[in-house]
Structure 1
Amino acid sequence: MLARRFLWIIAIIVMVVIAAAFAYSLFGNQLIRTAMVPSAPFTAPAPGDAPNYIKPTAWVARPDRLTDASRWTPAGYTAAPLPGVAVFYVLPTAVFDRSRWNGSITDPATTQRMEQFLRFQASVFNSVGAIWAPAYRQATFGAFLTDKPEAAKALDLAYADVDAAFTVFLAAQPADKPIILAGHSQGSLLLMRLLKNRIAGTPLVDRLVAVYIPGWPISVTADLPALGLPACTIPDQTGCILSWQSFAQPADYKPVRDQFDKGSFDNGMGLTGDRRLGTEILCTNPLTGVTGIAPEAATANFGALVPNDDFTAGTLQPKTIGARCLPTGILDIGAPPAGFNAYVLPGNNYHVYDFPLFWANLRADIERRVDRYQQPVVKPEPRRIRVSKA
């Protein structure tokens, strides 16, 4: 009798789990939206509350900080002791507080998540660059799930912090030092704005080795022309942009495409002022560093960075994950990869893993572009004109 009751309990638990998984597959985005969008009004902070980026404590990564998770490397790799490039890295969303629209830069839980992102994303740059990553008052995760006007205000506040941090970052660099801009998700969105407002059409363009901004869709026609740089089309091209969004099969791209088309913060208007509706999304294959729909097999993957349970470390597994850019502009990674189980979004969206899935290839890509940038420009010798004697 007791054994039968136990089996019934197990059966009920299994049914509940299956029902929950089915509901999540059908209504995952709606459930997340209900749980995460803030209900509180937006409250503008006092002017004196802005981070002071002159101080190292306003950064989560900076060359003069004693501890810095961005300097971590998996086995077989080391960070450069004297990097020759300055990297300005804008972190993705690490705030999930629905009681307010912007996070605090001193919240311990947010800081812990930012360190995880530094370890699994920004670390790809530490062989070539000194990494600067500002702690900024991020728009909370729920701000990206609604068209409430408070969401746009939250992003404006986050951008103001990033803009201020970039000013301090630039002032700390020699005038001729090459720069890499990089970020993910919210960080990529804010860097797009920074490119348009602060860099496009200025001498700073000539100092950019490359811009790595995955995790936020970029319209080839309605966004890219306003950024002042082209998409990367060859593996060692410099002064160009790389972007991708990773999905496993079976994939549901509709939420990303809907958000891209309608735009919660800009009514679907791209940075050029044109509508994004129906336009092509930029997709770079991170295994090759170029745009286009040619697939790359898993054998081309030098090493995906598989995290441990608490994301404090990880191991590289080569030749396990391929990639191809689909005509939709989404990066298809094939079947769900082993080891990347936590934080997968509805629709098999591997958003959180846009960098770790291709860690070793991206590191090689960065080093290749820096090498090309640092090669001396060879000027052709002046043509000698032979003058005939009369």
Structure 2
Amino acid sequence: MKPSYLFILSMTILAFACSAPYKQMAKQYEQRDQVSVPDYSDLYFWAAHPYKKDPADSVPKPLRTNHLIDSAVDVFFIHPTTYTDDQLPFGYSAPIGNNELNAKTDYSTILFQASAFNQVGRVFAPRYRQANLQAYFPKNATDSGAAIAAFELAYQDVKAAFSYYLKNLHKGKPIIIAAHSQGTTHGKRLLKEFFDDQALQNKLVAAYLIGIPVAEAEFTKIKACTTPNQTGCIVSWRTYKEGYTPPLILEEKFKAIVTNPLTWTNEEIFADRQLNKGGVLLKFNKIVPSVASAKIEGNVLWTPKPKFFGNIFYTTNNYHVADINLYYLNIQENLRNRVSSYLKK
């Protein structure tokens, strides 16, 4: 049976990820067809890591003059699905050493999403044997079994990466957990297993679990962030065009955590796009100011159609793929505020 939240996953992926640039980049990547299990002591198995240069280090050109990097905290980023081929060329689980898939991951989500977190800390983003997008849409019992196994394999990789990080790289620093889409599917489990009512909870600055619903009652001790400076809490939202909520989300039997990324509260008030400091869309080096508004509506976040050149061709009601990109600069500002609050405790 499909969980109700699965409908939110759009079959659309970042246009950049389908274009020539990542395919050109793939030629520079090492192919490791013989590797079946990641070894997180090897930098090859990290999409982002402070000990190597990677797209998570990137800064949009208009922001570079005032960009100051702080390494006071660590960011553990779990990327969304980039294995989207519905023909399942590798089955339900992606290989860990495929150069094209790794380049696609790096020059889509790592560049456009993980980079939003690089100003406040060291960014760690593991490669993992992610489940194919079709795992969210099983058609029969056989597919369901394969999907469950694929998600379990993916989580075990994420868990292994985080365990390696804790043992060898953490060194007692405060931690931000950040994730989108499939990353949030695994991020919720990671937060539950390692932080919720655990000693490590004291190290949690905040968890940005975006693109997949997080129930308010899902955790024992960790609660929703309700103010911009609150720490040790969860930020989450799913973005849709104003007036549209998918029927399956309307049927959800739980109250989801929904954060307004312009006010950073859970109040159901309209936040005008003038509060939006800027988004980063298909052109990484271009900031689009006042691109989107935000209003919490039930279990989702609504915005009128985003304002950017060419939006006449942007006809979808589902803004899942842009959950982070529409609010990129506001996320950066909020990260600085929460880290500052945490360090003052």
Q: 1:279 aligns with which of 254, 269, 273?
A: 254
Name the stretch that deviates more: 101-110 or 206-215: 101-110
Q: 2:77 aligns with which of 83, 89, 110?
A: 89
Q: Which runs of 5+ in 2 are unaligned?
A: 1-6, 12-34
Aligned 8 A contact 1:306 1:314 in 2: no
SS at match of 2:287: strand
Alignment of 1:45-194 (within 5 A): 49-65=36-52, 67-78=53-64, 80-97=68-85, 98-99=88-89, 100-115=91-106, 116-146=108-138, 148-194=144-190
SS at match of 2:210: coil
RMSD: 2.5
Q: 1:332 aligns with which of 294, 298, 302?
A: 302
SS at match of 2:281: strand
Aligned 8 A contact 2:288 2:308 in 1: no
Cα shift at 1:245: 0.3
Cα shift at 1:76: 3.2
Cα shift at 1:345: 9.2
Cα shift at 1:96: 1.5
Partners of 1:296 and 1:72 lie apart in 2 by 29
Aligned 8 A contact 1:86 1:173 in 2: no
Structure 1 157/342 Cα, relative in aligned 2: closer, same or farther at 3 Å? farther
Structure 1 345/60 Cα, relative in aligned 2: closer, same or farther at 3 Å? farther
Aligned 8 A contact 1:211 1:239 in 2: yes
SS at match of 1:219: coil
Q: Which runs of 5+ in 1 are unaligned?
A: 1-27, 33-47, 262-277, 378-390
Amino acid at match of 1:299: Q
- Kindly indicate whether residue 217 of structure 2 is the aligned counterpart of residue 232 of structure 1: no
TM-score by length of 2: 0.82
SS at match of 1:331: strand
Structure 1 319/141 Cα, relative in aligned 2: closer, same or farther at 3 Å? same
Aligned 8 A contact 1:286 1:358 in 2: yes
SS at match of 1:232: coil
Amino acid at match of 1:111: N
Amino acid at match of 2:58: W
Amino acid at match of 1:334: P
Partners of 1:368 and 1:345 lie apart in 2 by 34
Structure 1 337/151 Cα, relative in aligned 2: closer, same or farther at 3 Å? farther
Structure 1 342/238 Cα, relative in aligned 2: closer, same or farther at 3 Å? farther
What residue is the counterpart of 1:275 in the other structure? none
Deviation readout 1:102-141 (Å, 9 max, x if unpaired): 1112223322331211111111111111100000000000
What residue is the counterpart of 1:367 in the other structure? 336
Q: 1:306 aligns with which of 257, 274, 281?
A: 281
SS at match of 1:149: helix
Alignment of 1:239-278 (within 5 A): 239-257=232-250, 261=252, 278=253
Partners of 2:288 and 2:306 lie apart in 1 by 15
Alignment of 1:5-44 (within 5 A): none
What residue is the counterpart of 2:287 in the other structure? 316
Cα shift at 1:324: 0.4
Identical aligned residues as a percent: 31
